[in-house]
Structure 1
Amino acid sequence: MKRAPEEHVTDSQSLIENRPPSVATLFLERVAATPEGEAYRYPVPPASGQGPDDWKSLTWAEAAQRVYATAAGLIELGVGPEERVALASSTRVEWILADLGVLCSGAATTTVYPSTNADETAYILADSGSRIMIAEDAAQLAKARECRADLPDLAHVIVIDETAAVPAEGDPEGWVLSLAELEKRGAAYLEKNPSCVKERVAALRADQLATLIYTSGTTGRPKGVRLPHDCWSYMARAIQATGLVNEEDVQYLWLPLAHVFGKVLTAGQIAQGHVIAVDGRVDKIIENLPVVRPTYMAAVPRIFEKVYNGVAAKAREGGGAKYKIFQWAAGVAREYAKVSQDNFRRTGNASVPFGLAAKHQVADKLVYAKLREAFGGRLRAAVSGSAALAPEIGYFFAGAGIHILEGYGLTESSAASFVNPGEAYRTGTVGKPLPGTEVRIAEDGEILLRGPGIMQGYHGLPEKTAEVLESDGWFHTGDIGELSADGYLRITDRKKDLIKTSGGKYIAPAEVEGQFKAVCPFVSNVLVHGANRNFCTALIALDEPTILTWAKEHGLAGKDYAAVVATEQVRELIDGYVERVNEGLQRWQQIRKFRILPRDLDIEHGEVTPSLKVKRPVVERTFKDLLDDMYAGTRES
């Protein structure tokens, strides 16, 4: 049953104004309220290594037993309030339990991506002053060992993978422990001091440091973003207040938990009390969805782009007739979504004309129903964030019955500042501000935010903090956007990413890139370049499985990716899509030249972040020769 708007506003205000000081407090309240309710699901691979995973569950009471044991174990090791405990692991249930253990001990979590190299890991551990490191496996332990001489304050490394928690020659006595050992020590400590964890939680202040998340800088060292307990408590209650999730939901969580987007989802889940199925293996997403059958999940645009390209490629493999049906159905989906959203915006009713509804019904049986089944058949909504989703891809999924609610936020704003409101969502926008968050647009178009989710500042960097955080609490996001009359925000680009050509024209590269992704089913990543140049160019990376399938059908079987993309056939194929995009662009926005990259952009080369966002300066440096070649012989003014 839907609540009246007035009632919803009152509930929202009450939830937020009466929030507890910390998510640790919320966790204790959740355990007391629904101890036998299911909290987490996680996969256990078969011992043989063959066959499907076995999914197991933890109730809130079972989760609490492990969380309290971890917290008590850290207390027994001498960890004090606000002291940092680094957490270097992929997304798995132990990450969540360990993080909660850190928070319940009164300490603060320093998140470290498992893909971070040893040098940068050492910097983060030293800069944060982390006393303990919780490492996932032998690889993360090796990084700590490599830099141990530079980290005199690092007292212990706790290893999640018990088989890897083996002391090596040169390790100080007791320096390496397994997570199981820490929990065992914590359980024994709890027997002697049964109230120690609850006392630590009760002593937590809203302004006390809870998390240090290091932003993946494109130049120089990353900055540690200081997020106090109140940020997470506010986010938990604000997510709850949106009404987008309920206690019956099953959420599939694969996002990196070292990233603020993944971390905020765990806070919202504790407040609402629904189930999270946790598995960070990206290569298992397609396999997991029909098993988990989520009702709600969050992802980054790259995942939806890959699904869209995969569906298009599969249809193409089925022959010309099947591909034509897919293309027709995709067009119907987009038209259906645009008309229904427009009608809902104007009248509050998402109805469409009879003829369009009839076409949509046929397309649903032929295409959309199968697509929904691939997502598990129960997906009510998916939240997309971290980067812009191409509107044409968003409309396709919306028309197919997979409702993608775009949202917006930054590490500095605890991830979730805007989200599209349920039925009233508008593709191409990031929705409305969360209850309690203020927004204004500066004269130059920059988005400014203020509210309880905004960071305290950058760790140990008061000058950098002053550059973005005003004394009255307004945070400068660095993003350019537009607000509609009824409060929907559209992001146009990063302020620093706006291109000004040598002719004085401004271009939002993300807008052009999004349009290209919507028409080209072979693209993986694209970067539009043109700052201080007299025309725009593009670096294009193709999706390897999709282009290799195409290659087999066009006489290029047996060639590897680099050889295939170097052929004139592929250049002509992509040139056709570039021309299609250019038809809808202003002359100064058009892509005049392009180069296909010999490999995709990746985390290992530092070209994309762990949340799959492209680092423009890194890509432009790496492929400078290709960019220069496209402008060779032209006059640059």
Structure 2
Amino acid sequence: MYSTCRETVRIVETEELYTSEANGAVRIRDSYGADFMPVTIPVAWKQIVEKYPDNPALRFKLGEEWETITYKGISVCIHPSSSPEACLHIINSSRANIVIVEDDVQLQKILKVKDQVPTLKFIIQYASNPTDPLVLNWSELLDMSVKIRDDILEKRINDLSVNQCCSIIFTSGTTGSPKAVMRSHDNILFNAKQLMTYLQLEVGNESVLSHSHMSDVISQSSLIDNLKAAKPTCLLMSPGKVEKVNEYIETNVLRNGHRFKHELVNRARKAALSHYEDIFERRFESEFIYKIYKIMVYNWIKRSVGLDKCKYFMSGGAPLLKSVQQNLMSLDLHVVEAYGLTECGGQALSAGNDIRVDCHGKALPFTRIKIDKPNENGEGEICLNGRHIFMGYLNDPEKTREIFDKDGWFHTGDIGTLDSQSYIKITGRIKEVIIIDNGDSIFPASIELKIRARIPVISHAVLVGESKKFLTLLITLKSEIDAATGMPMDELKPAAKEWCQSVGYPCDTVSKILREKPTLIYNAIKQGIDEVNSQAFFSDEKIQKFTILPKDFSLATGEMTRSMKLMRGVVNKKYEDEINKMYL
């Protein structure tokens, strides 16, 4: 125990590097030179409030404030798209006493399963006036809080330990059931300190918006409205939402207008790409021309999507199409790919003088990355160490032991490389590897990304071939999503329609393509696959056949997680008949 800024901070003495107990504690890991004293989130919150009493902290679009963690509780997030069964799993796994919901839609999910939750004491609802005796509205909760003496609250805050669990976050569950990740106060605040240091964020002058955790079902217009309202200086999005920003700019901002406007934008694109190429090569030859176009073109485009104040635009959670990244860069919107996991938060990204577009950047300050058992190409499992690494999986000692080695390194299950300048590149997942019948291992992610980049009409490409003689491909086409239900529709997106037009077959729907099987469409897709095949290092990596599926993948139809990651096991089982036909 020690004191900082009039506050007492507790540390539980332990040599354990991991735990699976909710009330367990872990040793504070090596800081690797960081000068950052451990502190709990309530204490850190109080210090910031005292220093910046008039600055807004956390906001969302309805204007209501989120409360901080104060009552010696552990917070657990439930995604709004979760089913009642998923809510039940999360609540029971974390043994929650209180569930907070925003509206009646979320309330009904909890009421449906409440009798199966023995630990549940109250449900709190922000909006409306609930009638169930188990449910309190927000004002009733505030009335209860008045009855709690300040000294009792202070004691609870002071009893918190920095190296015990502060928050439980469930993984997306791409390769199995979602795991309950326990992160301590020190994990979370140290990670925040890393990001502030690396991005050189100015205290009191930043607006941070994270869309990465929200479903990609959000409509394009709602996404842009959020950006315009928040005007973020720091933005993190999933690749799917980055694609929506790109589509909005191309279809709503740049498509219409005089020929002079199009010519000006085209010249500005070339200037921006030259500018960034100079940055990558440490040259500054195009600075003057770039600044002119910044005033005439780039600033106007950024204002149209609420990104005129954005200094850091990051994408994470899945690979970002290089064509999308390149197109946005040509408009002076430089999107960098970040690497992180539920188990550690942010781990690596590019910023400042470390900008690179062919990788996921360098490790954040005061952390470590290593490649375990690299092959001849330098590929191996990515392992991480540092104070940001999580405590363990709640109530799952076996899985917790599996992912930590004897020296405390966290084995991520991700495959990647680390070059001589310490830039990391993610190339796949161990559990997603495809082993064909001759025993060779194929990592599908990089091949699938090349397919999507080469054939713009494709929304998802799933490589298949486990225990087979050759590889095949399941394809979905870019189609509209029903904003109300999240279900994929038959109508193609504008970009997909344009692609069909460009290959000589005007078409508006997926069903028409499947019904008429136009040679022009199928040959164009085959040509793109052949070009990707020509880049394969080994013949086993070449795709022999493909099938177009009738519907795109989505959260609503079960092929995607709530963070929009592909669930390969679900896809392989759901489309087993289509797969088998390709091997007849």
Same fold (TM over 0.5): yes
The alpha-carbon deviation at position 41 of structure 1 amounts to 4.0
The alpha-carbon deviation at position 231 of structure 1 amounts to 0.9
> Which residue is equivalent to 1:233?
189
Is contact 1:551–1:564 with CA below 8 Å preserved after alignment? no
Distance change (3 Å), C-alpha of 1:417 and 1:285: same
**SS at the partner of 1:104?**
coil
**SS at the partner of 1:417?**
strand
**SS at the partner of 1:440?**
strand
> Which residue is equivalent to 1:108?
74
The answer as to 2:271 corresponding to 1:351 is no
Aligned sequence identity (%): 26
> Which residue is equivalent to 1:568?
517
The answer as to 2:342 corresponding to 1:428 is no
CA distance in 1, matches of 2:254, 2:45: 49
**SS at the partner of 2:48?**
helix
CA distance in 1, matches of 2:272, 2:318: 21
> Which residue is equivalent to 1:159?
125
Is contact 1:334–1:396 with CA below 8 Å preserved after alignment? no
Q: Output one character per residue of 1:212-233: Cα deviation in whole Å (capped at 9) or x when no partner.
A: 1122324553221111211112
With normalisation by structure 1, the TM-score equals: 0.74
Q: How does 1:354-433 map to 2 (within 5 A)?
A: 371-376=301-306, 377-413=308-344, 415-433=345-363
Amino acid at match of 2:224: I
Distance change (3 Å), C-alpha of 1:536 and 1:135: same
Distance change (3 Å), C-alpha of 1:178 and 1:315: closer
> Which residue is equivalent to 1:499?
434
Alignment coverage as a number of residue pairs: 530
Distance change (3 Å), C-alpha of 1:281 and 1:391: closer
Is contact 2:436–2:470 with CA below 8 Å preserved after alignment? yes
> Which residue is equivalent to 1:600?
552
**SS at the partner of 1:289?**
helix
> Which residue is equivalent to 1:43?
61
> Which residue is equivalent to 1:150?
116
Distance change (3 Å), C-alpha of 1:204 and 1:138: same
Q: How does 1:69-108 map to 2 (within 5 A)?
A: 97-98=66-67, 100=68, 103-108=69-74
> Which residue is equivalent to 2:147?
189
The alpha-carbon deviation at position 161 of structure 1 amounts to 1.9
Q: Output one character per residue of 1:230-261: Cα deviation in whole Å (capped at 9) or x when no partner.
A: 1112112212221342232222333437x9xx
Amino acid at match of 2:517: E
CA distance in 1, matches of 2:261, 2:280: 29
CA distance in 2, matches of 1:599, 1:369: 38
Distance change (3 Å), C-alpha of 1:503 and 1:41: same
The alpha-carbon deviation at position 474 of structure 1 amounts to 0.8
Q: Output one character per residue of 1:508-538: Cα deviation in whole Å (capped at 9) or x when no partner.
A: 3221222233333333222222333333222
Distance change (3 Å), C-alpha of 1:576 and 1:317: farther
The alpha-carbon deviation at position 380 of structure 1 amounts to 1.8
**SS at the partner of 2:415?**
strand
The alpha-carbon deviation at position 468 of structure 1 amounts to 0.6
The alpha-carbon deviation at position 622 of structure 1 amounts to 1.5
**SS at the partner of 1:409?**
strand
**SS at the partner of 2:343?**
helix
The alpha-carbon deviation at position 33 of structure 1 amounts to 0.7
> Which residue is equivalent to 1:468?
403
CA distance in 2, matches of 1:558, 1:388: 28
Distance change (3 Å), C-alpha of 1:37 and 1:311: closer
Q: How does 1:142-541 map to 2 (within 5 A)?
A: 142-163=108-129, 165-167=130-132, 174-186=133-145, 188-190=146-148, 193-218=149-174, 220-247=176-203, 248-256=205-213, 284-309=222-247, 311=249, 332=270, 336=274, 339-344=277-282, 350-352=283-285, 371-376=301-306, 377-413=308-344, 415-444=345-374, 445-541=380-476
Is contact 1:253–1:280 with CA below 8 Å preserved after alignment? no
The alpha-carbon deviation at position 177 of structure 1 amounts to 0.4
The alpha-carbon deviation at position 130 of structure 1 amounts to 0.9
CA distance in 1, matches of 2:98, 2:358: 43
> Which residue is equivalent to 2:24?
none
Distance change (3 Å), C-alpha of 1:315 and 1:24: closer
Q: Output one character per residue of 1:306-346: Cα deviation in whole Å (capped at 9) or x when no partner.
A: 33355556799769x999979977984796377335413xx
Distance change (3 Å), C-alpha of 1:605 and 1:537: same
**SS at the partner of 1:232?**
helix
Q: Output one character per residue of 1:571-612: Cα deviation in whole Å (capped at 9) or x when no partner.
A: 445444434444444444333322222112111233112221
Which is further off, 152-161 or 248-257?
248-257
CA distance in 1, matches of 2:370, 2:270: 37
Distance change (3 Å), C-alpha of 1:189 and 1:302: same
CA distance in 2, matches of 1:185, 1:105: 13
> Which residue is equivalent to 1:87?
none
**SS at the partner of 1:180?**
helix
Is contact 2:61–2:226 with CA below 8 Å preserved after alignment? no
CA distance in 2, matches of 1:362, 1:238: 35
Which is further off, 432-441 or 517-526?
517-526
CA distance in 2, matches of 1:566, 1:534: 29
Amino acid at match of 1:179: W
Is contact 1:131–1:153 with CA below 8 Å preserved after alignment? yes
**SS at the partner of 2:547?**
strand
**SS at the partner of 1:429?**
coil
The alpha-carbon deviation at position 154 of structure 1 amounts to 0.6
CA distance in 1, matches of 2:185, 2:254: 50
Distance change (3 Å), C-alpha of 1:507 and 1:398: farther
CA distance in 2, matches of 1:505, 1:367: 50
CA distance in 1, matches of 2:272, 2:571: 32
CA distance in 1, matches of 2:190, 2:156: 20
**SS at the partner of 2:412?**
strand
**SS at the partner of 2:80?**
coil
Q: How does 1:585-596 map to 2 (within 5 A)?
A: 585-586=536-537, 587-596=539-548
Which is further off, 285-294 or 451-460?
285-294
Which is further off, 226-235 or 248-257?
248-257
Unaligned runs of 5+ in 2: 1-29, 375-379, 481-490
Is contact 1:500–1:532 with CA below 8 Å preserved after alignment? yes
> Which residue is equivalent to 1:90?
none
How much is the aligned-residue C-alpha RMSD, in angstroms?
3.7
CA distance in 1, matches of 2:53, 2:150: 18
Amino acid at match of 2:51: A
**SS at the partner of 2:553?**
coil
Distance change (3 Å), C-alpha of 1:501 and 1:526: same
CA distance in 2, matches of 1:13, 1:529: 43
The alpha-carbon deviation at position 182 of structure 1 amounts to 0.8
Distance change (3 Å), C-alpha of 1:612 and 1:353: same
The answer as to 2:576 corresponding to 1:624 is yes
**SS at the partner of 1:418?**
strand
Unaligned runs of 5+ in 1: 1-11, 45-55, 57-92, 168-173, 260-278, 345-349, 633-637
Is contact 1:19–1:233 with CA below 8 Å preserved after alignment? no
> Which residue is equivalent to 1:74?
none
Q: How does 1:130-145 map to 2 (within 5 A)?
A: 130-145=96-111
Amino acid at match of 1:578: I
The alpha-carbon deviation at position 210 of structure 1 amounts to 0.9
